[in-house]
Chains A and B, each alone.
Chain A
């Protein structure tokens, strides 16, 4: 299992993601600098969270035009797997690898706390195949612009194609703020049309140890690695 973690100026979850992948795969992922346009063959590329280029213009907009992105697009066209977390999800959207947009949180607050996700998708993909539909995972979020927004016809299409990976779940049934950002249909993560690219706002790499308060992130990432190794 060869994995790589992309680093832009302003990435800040790259080390945590490297620790998580090393813990799962036993191998240290390679670091991919944003200026690289010739990257080796990898099984998994992760675009970690952060505030790339200071969130200037729009979150992820400048990172999405970096040289490394065309290599990532080639990796995807060869059937490669990509995970984008938080700012990584914003970058995948800005690069038009995933559809829709991520706008400012509804209440204008930077939200940093645990959320409960509910697995939605049944489509064949390496991220969720080992998990059950309706299964709940506790994974934290930390973002300012995670409000997934898309035209109604796109939301309908994503639903029909089973491309909504996770929704924020009202785990206690009376929790008012279970959705941390006001996203359409409580969407927390979506898949590409071939299921090999996942963008999600919550941070699985921040829930890989009991000291973090939970290990559901480890479960998700381990599942993904196992499915890729096949």
Chain B
């Protein structure tokens, strides 16, 4: 089964990349875009199908490595084929 982890910066954490993208969008004429926040997506392939077990393992992976919980939030979802 596939799990997708979406990682985003917490509110209040500076996102210079997002700001640079915003400035570029504004330059292209998209002046109604007032803020851009970037993040990342990690797709995990598991060789098991037990949802509860897989979700719990994914959560552990996020806390131990994938996410820096000082500055990032995360969301775990099962990716349906």
Which stretch, B11-19, B28-36, B47-55, touches the partner chain A? B11-19
List B contacts of A103 (CB < 8 A). 13-14, 71
| Given A101-B71, A149-B71, also A65-B65 (CB < 8 A) | yes
Distance to closest chain B CB from A106 (angstroms): 6
List A contacts of B17 (CB < 8 A). 104, 108
Distance to closest chain B CB from A61 (angstroms): 7
| Given A101-B70, A149-B71, also A57-B65 (CB < 8 A) | yes
**Pairwise interchain contact A147-B70, C-beta atoms closer than 8 A:** no
- Size of chain B's interface in residues, with CB distance under 8 A? 11
Q: Does A182 contact B (CB under 8 A)?
A: yes
List B contacts of A100 (CB < 8 A). 70
List B contacts of A61 (CB < 8 A). 65, 68
- Interface of A, secondary structure class, is loop
Distance to closest chain B CB from A90 (angstroms): 11
Interface residues of B in 57-72 (CB under 8 A from A): 64-66, 68, 70-71
**Pairwise interchain contact A108-B68, C-beta atoms closer than 8 A:** no
Contacts from B to A (Cβ < 8 Å): 13-14, 16-17, 20, 64-66, 68, 70-71
8 closest residue pairs by CB, A with B: A101-B70, A101-B71, A108-B16, A104-B16, A106-B16, A108-B20, A58-B68, A101-B68
A selection of 16 A-B contacts at a CB cut-off of 8 Å is A57-B65, A57-B66, A61-B65, A61-B68, A65-B65, A94-B68, A100-B70, A104-B14, A104-B17, A105-B16, A107-B16, A108-B17, A108-B20, A149-B14, A149-B70, A151-B70
